[in-house]
Amino acid sequence: MLNKSSANMELKVKLTNKYALVTGASIGIGADFSRQLAAMGCNLVLVSRSEDKLQALADVIKATYPVNARVIAMDLGEPGAGELLFHKLTEAGVRIDILVNNAGLGMYGEFSGQSLEQIRKMLRLNIDTLTDLTHLFLPSMLERRYGMIIQVGSLASFMPGPLYAAYSASKAYVLSLGESLNRELKGTGVTCTVVCPGVTATSFFDAAGQNNRYTLYQRLVIMQPADVASIGLDAALKGKPSVLTGFINKLQVFVLRFTPRVVASFMAYQGMKLR
């Protein structure tokens, strides 16, 4: 189905013959990034663990738009996953023009009570694989003087995140890396943009261990994934260093500038407690 965001993006820009790699494409924000890129004429490589969901999305995309959509099912939280994916695509002769590092996982709860193995796996997905893919695909983009990299950060990138401590720290890394790269890449024809969603209606919170229960704060500010993807693509096409999705999220980060971090941490803790 062509939703409003896809239609708007289609009018704005054409990416015919380009190839985008979207990680975490099976559902949520990644699926919307994929649909909207396809609406602009972009071929796709869709990656996540769920082959059936990826294939179903690829089938709908190919039936709706004149683009190619390949599927690669793999666990990007495994050590060396980024390199493995890069080599698979290189061997298949697929040249990536647009890299959307969207796959990410949250972990809700007190840090001390969480499994260290799970924390390590989350950090491999949110940090290591994102870094590896960026580093591996960048040289050929620079050679061709064309490329667009989207890193999916979070509102959590901007503040301490009690009850999402390790997750928030991983997203602070994503923001810092992406904004730094945006500066380093000026004039090369390649851009890097960090897209920072606030609370978005996906299965993220379920996967993070909130069991589909939203806090009061989350219920008040929630956005739709199609809108997040649309705002993100718009910012990336303009080569912006980063973008926060939605007015309330922007307002929060503006207020944070004048807020001591200890106060921000207290507020975040209150906002994340399930009642």
Ligand X SMILES: NC(=O)c1ccc[n+]([C@@H]2O[C@H](COP(=O)([O-])OP(=O)(O)OC[C@H]3O[C@@H](n4cnc5c(N)ncnc54)[C@H](OP(=O)(O)O)[C@@H]3O)[C@@H](O)[C@H]2O)c1
Given a contact cutoff of 8 angstroms between Cβ atoms, the answer to whether 62 and 68 are in contact is yes
How far apart are CB 103 and ligand X at their closest, in Å? 4
DSSP-derived secondary structure letter, 19: E
How far apart are CB 106 and ligand X at their closest, in Å? 6
Given a contact cutoff of 8 angstroms between Cβ atoms, the answer to whether 149 and 99 are in contact is yes
Given a contact cutoff of 8 angstroms between Cβ atoms, the answer to whether 200 and 225 are in contact is yes
> Which of 83-119 are b and which e, b meaning 16 or more Cβ less than 10 Å from the residue's Cβ?
ebbbeebeeeeeebbbbbbbbbbbbbeeeeebeeeeb
How far apart are CB 27 and ligand X at their closest, in Å? 4
Site string for ligand X, 143-162 (x = CB under 6 A): ---------x-x--------
Beta carbon nearer to ligand X, 27 or 226:
27
Q: Which of 119, 207, 248, 253 binds ligand X (CB under 6 A)?
A: 207
Beta carbon nearer to ligand X, 84 or 142:
84
Closest by CA position to 87, among listed 133, 141, 18: 133
Site string for ligand X, 47-86 (x = CB under 6 A): -xxx--x---------------------xxx---------
Distance CA 194, CA 177 (A): 9
Q: Which two tokens stand for residue 236?
A: 């990336």
Quick check: is 167 catalytic? Answer: yes
* Of 65, 108, 164, 167, catalytic: 167
Q: Which of 29, 58, 190, 243 binds ligand X (CB under 6 A)?
A: 29
Query: Is 202 a residue that touches ligand X (CB under 6 A)?
Result: yes
Interface with ligand X (CB under 6 A): 24-30, 48-50, 53, 75-77, 102-106, 125, 152, 154, 197, 199-200, 202-204, 207, 225
